[in-house]
Structure 1
Amino acid sequence: MNRLKLVLPTPEYKEELMEYKREFIENEDSMDGTAGLRTAKTFKDWYSVICDNLKEETVRDGLVPSTTYMAISTNDGRLIGMIDIRHRLNDYLLNFGGHIGYSIRKSERKQGYATEMLALGLTECVKLNIKKVLITCDKDNVTSAKTIINNGAKLENEIPEGNGITQRYWITLD
């Protein structure tokens, strides 16, 4: 497909990232895979966190090392989505969060971007030597489940979480 490329955030993308955040907030939408962009007070604060979280030596307390990418349209350079790849799992991530979180802006949904972005993210997992990737979603989120399954995932189980149920999917990479 090659409609997207994964790009590490840099200060040059500040305006696009802030617009992405605004769209999610206006739509009262969940911002998965953004490494806390929604709650960051400033771009500088958020950027500092994602840079620190790249390495085990500098990861913020309570978090695991992760790499956050922007999914950029190869056609027009628009920020379509974001994906966060956690290099390892802690107890919470093993049960509920998984290795990967992602989101697509509402204005770009239902075009197959999530499936393509997740496939690109799995390529990055191979580079990180993650051979078995856990991806989770709410049982109500049928679209996300389809995206995960379209990338070769197998449902392992479902776990109650709060008022909902989390589905746990595994993808084995070569």
Structure 2
Amino acid sequence: MPVLTDPSIRFRRSFLEAVKEFHADTDYEPSWFITDIDDAALSDSDEAAFETYVARVLAEGTEVGHKPGFVPMTTLWWTEGEEMLGRLAIRHRLIPKLERVGGHIGYDIRPGARRQGHATAMLRAAMPVAAGLGIAEALLTCDDTNVASRRVIEACGGRFVDEHDHKLRFWVPTRQPTS
């Protein structure tokens, strides 16, 4: 059964395979998280560079470790055994740009693992983490043409807010209502 886990060098082989899948996918442009990886970290022979990449991603969850213009974000990988199936980033707070595009949570499932329910399960599993970061309701956005992502967000309780520049915005409760 897949679980959310912190990024780790133990998933290096699978992560590198996933990046190749994302680049080969002709249906979608690679996500920013794919284009934000140093070439050295993607090398089959440079384990130290991958370790540096993982350390950077983990540090981005702190006030001092995130890049200028970004907010702290907790990145988690959706894994099963030694396989990295997807990744999810929870931004700890919103800035005006994220209020329009991006929201609190962004996620990607590697192409070979899509259409198997992973995105919905991963987003559901992330809600308690977001709640633990003090996010009562998470803002999520998706392209107006991304029917699959819209269905994932709605399956997790997303309430449609509006559309802005071809982006749909939804509020998703991070805690399950009590009966």
Same fold (TM over 0.5): yes
User: Which structure 1 segments of 5+ residues have no match?
Assistant: none
Alignment partner of 1:11 is 2:9: yes
Letter paired with 1:5:
V
Match of 2:154 in 1: 149
Alpha-carbon offset, residue 31 of structure 1: 4.2
Q: Which residue of 1 aligns with 2:61?
A: 54
- Find out whether 1:96 has 2:101 as its counterpart: yes
Question: When the two structures are superposed, what TM-score results if normalisation uses the length of structure 1?
Answer: 0.87
**Is 1:69 matched with 2:76?**
yes
**Contact map agreement 1:31 1:103 (CA 8 A) in 2:** no
Q: 3-state DSSP class of the match of 2:94?
A: coil
Q: State the 1:48 CA deviation.
A: 4.0
Residue in 2 aligned with 1:84?
A: 89
Contact 1:21–1:38 under 8 Å retained in 2: no
Name the structure 2 match of 1:111: 116
Shift of 1:92: 0.8
1:78 Cα deviation from its structure 2 partner: 1.8
* Percent identity between the two aligned chains: 29
Instruction: Quote the offset at 1:128 in angstroms.
Output: 1.0
Displacement of 1:57 in angstroms is: 2.4
Alignment of 1:120-159 (within 5 A): 120-159=125-164
Distance 2:106 2:29 in 1: 11
Counterpart residue type for residue 136 of structure 1: T
Unaligned runs of 5+ residues in structure 2 are 42-48
